Amino acid sequence: MSVDYDIAKVLARYVRAADRRDGTAMAELFLTEGKVTMFYNDGGTPQPLGELVGREAIANAVTKMMKPHPPRGWSHHTTHDAIINVEGDTATLDAQFIVYNVVGDLKPEGGWPVGASGAQGTVKPIESGYYRPTLKQVDGRWMIETLQIILDLPVAF
């Protein structure tokens, strides 16, 4: 496998952990002193939203602060157009992302109506922006040292 592939897998694991609200899996992707910094891209001027430092804070944020999924609901991250640069044991990644809120319809007691076909529910984009991590290779494994999340929309906490 290529180094770029190994680095891209870290981002793939990151978004899956976020979708599952799995703070433990998320924290394992970071160095012990790893840091996440969130910004709102206000017309090209990044506005700081918050910062998490250390695996425990990152795990708690994912498990306890992220909104739980509704019944029959899920979030689904997609990442696009990753730009990866590697210099020795340090790498940077810059990827666009979109998060979708996916909610399945409740199947009626009598079954789906006549003529119904295909997926039943909604898929709605709810978030977009850029993931910009810096990674370090430790004992042959790429781990996130810092992660900037630049959001296209303002966020209410």
Condensed to tens digits (0 to 9), the pLDDT of residues 87-121 reads: 999 999 999 999 999 999 999 999 999 999 999 99
Does domain 3-151 fall into CATH 3.10.450.50? yes
Phi and psi (nearest 5°) for 57?
A: -65, -40
Average pLDDT over residues 22-27: 96
User: Where exactly are the structural domains of the chain?
Assistant: 3-151
Give the predicted TM-score (pTM) of the model: 0.91
CA dist., res. 51 & res. 25, Å (int): 19
Using alpha carbons, select from 150, 142, 147, 154 the residue that is nearest to residue 9. Answer: 142
